[in-house]
């Protein structure tokens, strides 16, 4: 055991004090500490686990240990409470008092060294543990690959722990050894061992993040996702490129996509949040006046619920507001109750606002005109949400200024559900009944993806990746 003693002594840098001592490294054995749920344990632990504020001498450590409630676990418990600079002196004390450093104690010290970035100490512990124990557990092996040591020591550890593929690939990339990283990746694919539970959860987490934030992958990424699912051996995943029917049914597997319609509970949450943060928020009177807002509220209460709310000024910047109102805002719109929001300057005849056109608008729709300095957004949102879940609004404004105020990632759904996008080519478009987001039913995934660079920000992809699992 002389070689083990020499390694352990070198770890502490105090070889002159006990360099001749033979170190006995204690074999691992199970430990059964008392339950942490026992009454009074938490308070006693808090009172007792006060680590020293400086490195202690052997005598000082001995006195502290004698005052410990469980002296047989003193070194292990104290190691967890120390930073590495003071932990070394604890190792010295344990080695001198018992002549042994247990596997568990070295593992605790190793964890501290890795978290603190003390790479030299990490590899000194590596030398001791490799020389003292026939095998290292998964946790220890993984920790040894974490440091950013030079290529010589990294390769030494790599050859000793070849089963930890994920950590080794990460280390290879970190050290610029891409050839080794790709070689191990190919080896994993051949063994079918790469996509374990952790990797599955990671990819699913990425897909759910994209779902919650309405992120659409480009076709290249969608292809990689398809290949990933199909590479899972024994799981029978098949990916196909497809699109949907107008009712939201996948043309490939026949599954119905999620409805874009908010539930009554979701709609009420949205309404309450918008009313509180946007309509009644601190900055609302930067956009209007208390008198004007109250006048508008009274106006809305006296009117029937609106089916369509038109941002008159915004729409008119694209083409005539008359076309929108006169056209009934889409097919099958007869009998709709329409509100047009505008500004008072629109009532003054001009090249942009013809007097006859304005009279026609006022005949076909309810109208409310704000002061010229006011912004339309609060009025548009208030009227739409006050009217109910069926109400739609017409605007080119994507409400980016208010997106952060909307709860739980639902900002896109109400916008798509309520908004009839106004552009030259699609004046009469209908709103999709299904939600264009990544979605899963457990044995299938439906992923909308971008196959064009011409999609505008208010548009959604038309192509889907359908990945289904055969039972």
Instruction: For residue range 160-174, list pLDDT tens digits in order.
Output: 555 566 667 777 777
Q: How many structural domains comprise the chain? A: 3
Q: Does residue 79 sit in the same domain as residue 138?
A: yes
**What's the pLDDT at 255?**
92
Highest mean pLDDT out of 90-94, 154-158, 187-191 = 90-94
Per-residue pLDDT of 24-79, as tens digits, reads 444 443 333 443 333 344 444 445 556 777 888 888 888 888 887 777 777 866 77
Would you list the DSSP string of 26-53? PPP----PPPTTSTTHHHHHHHH----S
Q: Does residue 108 sit in the same domain as residue 139?
A: yes
Residue 303 CB neighbour total at 10 angstroms:
14
- For residue 173, tell me if it sits in a domain: no
Residues 281, 39: Cα–Cα separation, whole Å: 48
- For residue 172, tell me if it sits in a domain: no
Q: 413, 364, 419: which is closest to 391 by C-alpha? A: 419
Beta bridge partners of 311: 341
Residue 274 φ/ψ, nearest 5 degrees = -65, -45
- Which of 135, 161, 187 is a domain's end point? 161
Q: Does residue 384 sit in the same domain as residue 465?
A: no
Q: Residue range 446-467: average pLDDT?
A: 84
Q: Does residue 254 sit in the same domain as residue 270?
A: no
pLDDT at position 444 over 80: yes
Q: Does residue 270 sit in the same domain as residue 367?
A: yes
**What's the pLDDT at 238?**
95
Residue 57 CB neighbour total at 10 angstroms:
11
Q: How many residues does the chain have?
A: 471
- For residue 400, tell me if it sits in a domain: yes
Residue 256 sits at the vertex; the CA angle it makes with 250 and 261, to the nearest 5 degrees, is 120
pLDDT class of 467 with cuts at 50, 70, 90? very high
DSSP H or E run through 466: strand 463-469
**What's the pLDDT at 74?**
78
pLDDT at position 422 over 50: no
List the domain range (segments joined by +) for residue 384: 264-421
* Residue, of 448 and 111, whose pLDDT is higher: 448
Q: 10, 5, 1: which is closest to 21 by C-alpha? A: 5
Q: Does residue 127 sit in the same domain as residue 12?
A: yes
pLDDT at position 115 over 80: no
Q: 193, 190, 141, 132: which is closest to 162 by C-alpha? A: 141
Q: Residue range 351-373: average pLDDT?
A: 82
Answer for the pair 262, 417: CB distance below 8 angstroms, yes or no. Answer: yes
* Residue, of 240 and 394, whose pLDDT is higher: 240
- For residue 289, tell me if it sits in a domain: yes
- For residue 28, tell me if it sits in a domain: yes
- For residue 190, tell me if it sits in a domain: no
Residues 74, 362: Cα–Cα separation, whole Å: 85
Q: 377, 358, 368: which is closest to 316 by C-alpha? A: 358
Residue 408 φ/ψ, nearest 5 degrees = 55, 40
Q: Does residue 250 sit in the same domain as residue 279?
A: no
Q: Does residue 93 sit in the same domain as residue 145?
A: yes
Answer for the pair 260, 433: CB distance below 8 angstroms, yes or no. Answer: yes
Percent composition of the chain: helix, strand, coil (DSSP 3-state, to 5): 50, 10, 40
Q: Residue range 453-470: average pLDDT?
A: 82
Residue 310, exposed/middle/buried by CB under 10 A (0-12, 13-18, 19+)?
buried
Angle between helix 151-160 and helix 119-132 axes, rounded to 10 deg: 30
Would you list the DSSP string of 299-312? HHHHSPPPSEEEEH
Tokens coding 425: 């080519």
| The dihedral sign for the CA sequence 42, 45, 51, 52 | positive
**What's the pLDDT at 3?**
46
- Which of 382, 397, 421 is a domain's end point? 421
* Residue, of 374 and 89, whose pLDDT is higher: 89
pLDDT class of 145 with cuts at 50, 70, 90? low
Q: Does residue 53 sit in the same domain as residue 108?
A: yes
pLDDT class of 226 with cuts at 50, 70, 90? very high
Tokens coding 225: 């996702």
* Residue, of 294 and 416, whose pLDDT is higher: 294
Residue 462 φ/ψ, nearest 5 degrees = -105, -10
Highest mean pLDDT out of 40-54, 205-219, 401-415 = 205-219
Averaged confidence pLDDT in the chain = 71
**What's the pLDDT at 470?**
83
**What's the pLDDT at 154?**
58
**What's the pLDDT at 264?**
82
* Residue, of 454 and 55, whose pLDDT is higher: 55
Highest mean pLDDT out of 152-156, 214-218, 272-276 = 214-218
- For residue 184, tell me if it sits in a domain: no
pLDDT at position 15 over 50: no
pLDDT class of 439 with cuts at 50, 70, 90? very high
pLDDT at position 405 over 70: no
Question: Worst-scoring range by mean pLDDT, 37-41, 53-57, 370-374, 397-401?
Answer: 37-41
Q: Residue range 390-398: average pLDDT?
A: 73
Q: Are β-strands 439-440 and 392-395 bridged in parallel, bridged antiparallel, or unpaired?
A: unpaired
- Model's pTM, two decimal places? 0.47
Q: For position 274, which CATH number holds?
A: 3.40.50.11980
pLDDT at position 254 over 70: yes
pLDDT at position 194 over 60: no
**What's the pLDDT at 102?**
87
Highest mean pLDDT out of 130-144, 183-197, 388-402, 437-451 = 437-451
Answer for the pair 128, 101: CB distance below 8 angstroms, yes or no. Answer: yes
Q: Does residue 112 sit in the same domain as residue 248?
A: no
- For residue 413, tell me if it sits in a domain: yes
Distances, alpha carbon 19 to alpha carbons 5, 133, 137, in Å: 8, 21, 29
**What's the pLDDT at 177?**
76
* Residue, of 50 and 194, whose pLDDT is higher: 50
Residue 351 CB neighbour total at 10 angstroms:
5
Q: Residue range 244-257: average pLDDT?
A: 92
Q: Does residue 326 sit in the same domain as residue 387?
A: yes
**What's the pLDDT at 135?**
73
Q: Does residue 456 sit in the same domain as residue 406?
A: no
Residues 36, 178: Cα–Cα separation, whole Å: 46
């Amino acid at each position: 055991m002389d070689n083990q003693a020499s390694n352990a002594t070198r770890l502490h840098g105090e070889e002159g004090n006990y360099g001749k001592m033979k170190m006995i490294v204690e074999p691992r054995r199970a430990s059964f500490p008392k339950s942490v749920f026992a009454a009074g344990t938490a308070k006693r632990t808090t009172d007792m686990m006060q680590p020293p504020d400086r490195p202690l001498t052997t005598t000082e450590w001995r006195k502290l240990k004698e005052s410990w409630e469980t002296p047989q676990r003193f070194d292990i418990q104290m190691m967890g409470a120390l930073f590495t600079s003071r932990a070394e002196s604890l190792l010295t004390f344990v080695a001198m008092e018992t002549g042994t450093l247990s596997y568990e104690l070295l593992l605790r010290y190793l964890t501290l060294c890795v978290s603190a970035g003390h790479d030299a100490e990490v590899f000194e512990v590596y030398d001791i543990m490799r020389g003292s124990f026939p095998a290292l557990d998964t946790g220890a092996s993984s920790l040894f690959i974490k440091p950013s040591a030079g290529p010589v020591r990294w390769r030494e550890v790599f050859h000793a722990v070849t089963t930890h593929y994920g950590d080794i690939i990460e280390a290879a990339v970190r050290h610029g050894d891409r050839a080794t990283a790709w070689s191990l990746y190919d080896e994993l694919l051949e063994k079918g061992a790469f996509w374990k539970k952790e990797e599955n959860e990671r990819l699913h987490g990425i897909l759910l993040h994209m779902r919650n934030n309405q992120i659409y992958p480009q076709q290249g990424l969608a292809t990689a996702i398809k290949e990933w699912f199909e590479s899972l051996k024994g799981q029978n995943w098949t990916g196909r490129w497809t699109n949907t029917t107008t009712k939201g049914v996948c043309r490939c597997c026949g599954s119905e996509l999620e409805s874009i319609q908010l539930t009554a509970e979701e709609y009420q949450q949205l309404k309450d949040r918008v009313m509180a943060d946007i309509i009644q928020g601190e900055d609302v009177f930067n956009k209007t006046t208390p008198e004007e807002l109250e006048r508008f509220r009274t106006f809305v209460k006296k009117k029937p619920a609106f089916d369509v709310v038109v941002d008159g000024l915004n729409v008119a910047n694209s083409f005539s507001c008359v076309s929108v109102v006169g056209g009934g805002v889409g097919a099958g719109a007869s009998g709709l109750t329409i509100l047009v929001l505008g500004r008072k300057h629109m009532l003054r005849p001009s090249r942009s606002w013809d007097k006859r056109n304005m009279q026609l608008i006022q005949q076909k729709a309810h109208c409310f005109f704000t002061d010229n300095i006011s912004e339309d957004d609060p009025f548009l949102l208030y009227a739409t949400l006050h009217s109910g879940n069926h109400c739609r609004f017409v605007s080119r404004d994507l409400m980016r200024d208010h997106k952060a105020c909307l709860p739980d990632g639902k900002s896109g759904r109400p916008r798509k559900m309520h908004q009839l996008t106004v552009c030259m080519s699609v004046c009469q478009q209908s709103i999709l009944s299904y939600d264009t987001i990544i979605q899963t039913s457990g044995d299938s995934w439906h992923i909308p993806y971008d196959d064009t660079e011409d999609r505008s920000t208010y548009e959604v992809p038309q192509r889907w990746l359908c990945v289904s699992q055969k039972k």
